């Protein structure tokens, strides 16, 4: 019972820091330029996350041997293609019919981040189950900090006048709750093959979101602001990651 409660607490702490990104909505205001810059900033964060998840998925492939390397490679490709083209189909067949098109990018971002966070939750749970409590704690701190940054990526593109509590909570749950679910599952069961599929799914969906945001903002935002936002977002995510690794003494 105590182990389940501990896993629950770890998952909650790591996953729901995503709501720390909510205040960014107030900064956007009604300025199209400001919203566009925030969207490009969020894309920079996602770009770093894309590199991170693909690297993690590829490391699973590299650690496999013989026929398993082929299996893991196919799993990576399958997940990446499904993650990207799946969202293309989802957006074209469902989201285009919705009246609130400003929710498209945040929703797709939340889906991609949610898949990634499920994999992070598996890592937390697996570390805890293996008795590596210190590593599990560092993972919670690290992933929790990242989730706060990812919350920025989710909520940044929202228009201030279209935001309400239901939308914010829904997007936050889509992006953050999978961390909790993954932690609980990882505490009792872990599969590196499943992790590879989930990470590649996240990578494919994040790639689609980044390209979609770029396509949208490139028409309404000056190129200097667009690439400045991308660069700033990437640097913020990279600096956060390096600070966490340094604080953990390389445990992450």
Query: Could you tell me which of 115, 183, 124 has the C-alpha nearest to residue 150?
Result: 115
pLDDT in tens, 90-147: 666 655 555 445 456 788 788 878 877 887 777 677 667 656 565 566 667 666 766 7
- The reply to whether 252 falls in a domain is no
pLDDT for the residue 9: 78
pLDDT tens, residue by residue, 153-164 = 787 767 665 667
What is d(CA 48, CA 114) in angstroms, rounded to the nearest whole number? 16
Q: Is position 63 within any domain?
A: yes
Domains identified in the chain, total number: 1
Backbone angles phi, psi at 219, to 5 degrees: -85, -20
In a domain, 209, yes or no: yes
**Is the pTM for the entire model greater than 0.75?**
no
Q: What is the rounded average pLDDT of the residues 206-211?
A: 81
pLDDT score of 132: 56
pLDDT tens digits along 169-188 = 888 899 889 888 888 887 77
- The rounded mean pLDDT for the chain is 76
User: Is the pLDDT confidence value at 225 over 60?
Assistant: yes
Q: How many CB atoms lie within 10 A of CB 98?
A: 12
- pLDDT for residue 249: 63
In the predicted structure, residue 166 carries a pLDDT above the cut 60: yes
The residue among 42 and 127 whose pLDDT is bigger is 42
What average pLDDT does the segment 64-72 reach?
A: 92
Give the list of residues 6+ apart from residue 246 with CB closer than 8 angstroms, or none: none
Task: Enumerate residues 6+ apart whose C-beta is below 8 A from 172.
Answer: 16, 18, 19, 22, 110, 151, 154
74 has pLDDT over 70? yes
Q: Domain range for residue 55?
A: 2-247
Task: Look at residue 72 in the predicted model and tell me its pLDDT.
Answer: 95
Q: Is 91 among the domain residues?
A: yes
């Amino acid at each position: 019972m105590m182990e389940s409660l501990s896993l629950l607490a770890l998952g909650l702490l790591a996953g729901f820091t995503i709501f720390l990104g909510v205040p960014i909505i107030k900064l956007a205001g009604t300025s199209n330029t400001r919203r566009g810059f925030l969207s490009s900033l969020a894309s920079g964060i996602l770009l770093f996350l894309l590199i991170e998840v693909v690297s993690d998925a590829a490391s699973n492939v590299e650690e496999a041997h013989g026929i398993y390397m082929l299996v893991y490679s196919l799993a990576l490709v399958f997940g990446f293609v499904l993650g990207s083209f799946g969202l293309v189909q989802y957006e074209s067949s469902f989201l285009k019919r919705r009246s609130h098109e400003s929710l498209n990018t945040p929703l797709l971002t939340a889906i991609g981040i949610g898949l990634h966070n499920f994999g992070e939750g598996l890592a937390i749970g697996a570390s805890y189950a293996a008795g590596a409590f210190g590593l599990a704690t560092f993972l919670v701190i690290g992933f929790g900090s990242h989730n706060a940054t990812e919350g920025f990526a989710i909520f940044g593109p929202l228009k201030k006048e279209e935001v309400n509590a239901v939308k914010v909570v829904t997007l936050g749950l889509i992006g953050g709750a999978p961390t909790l679910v993954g932690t609980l599952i990882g505490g009792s069961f872990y599969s590196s093959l499943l992790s590879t599929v989930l990470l590649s799914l996240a990578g494919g969906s994040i790639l689609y979101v980044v390209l979609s945001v770029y396509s949208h903002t490139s028409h309404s935002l000056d190129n200097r602001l667009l690439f400045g936002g991308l660069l700033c977002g990437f640097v913020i995510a990279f600096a956060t990651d390096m600070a966490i690794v340094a604080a953990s003494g390389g445990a992450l």
